[in-house]
Amino acid sequence: MSMKKWTDEELISTRDNLEAWESRSKNSGAGSKLWLLTALLGAFAISTGVAFIFLDGIDVMSVILIIMGTVTCFSWYRSEKQRKDNIAFLDEIRKEIKSRKLKDTAKSKDKASEQVEEDKEVVKKEPSAAESQTTDKN
């Protein structure tokens, strides 16, 4: 996928979304440790199933252990691969933005739109306050 054809807004919004994902994943340190523990338990289930097959012969529980451990390890592998792909993609987007010399226009637009909304709220409140003062004088 070539980012050369992307518009500036698409690049910036994608970068902002990936940075938000990255900050969430970094802040939840327990989640990644729990996921690693799950992968280790999957590997333990595989080895236990294989050991039970050698000791007791082929049994339904041994096969179930091996299958569930394999599914768990495969899920961990796919999520870890996706995480690394996302980080690499974010780096590519940052390089493309840097090569285009774009500024953080999306973030500044958000701040500007919030300021405009706050100003509108203040203007809405002021006439009602002025009306109440004129009614008090009468």
pLDDT tens, position by position, 61-107:
999 999 999 999 999 899 889 888 888 888 888 888 888 776 555 45
The domain total for the chain is 2
User: What is the rounded CA–CA span in Å between residue 47 and residue 45?
Assistant: 6
127 in the same domain as 64 = no
Domain assignment of residue 135, given as a range: 104-138
Greatest Cα pair distance in the chain: 98
124 in the same domain as 65 = no
* pTM of the full structure: 0.59
User: What is the rounded CA–CA span in Å between residue 18 and residue 99?
Assistant: 19
User: Looking at residue 5, what DSSP letter applies?
Assistant: G
In 59-104, alpha helices (H): 60-100
Q: Tell me the residue length of the chain.
A: 138
Overall average pLDDT of the 29-54 stretch: 87
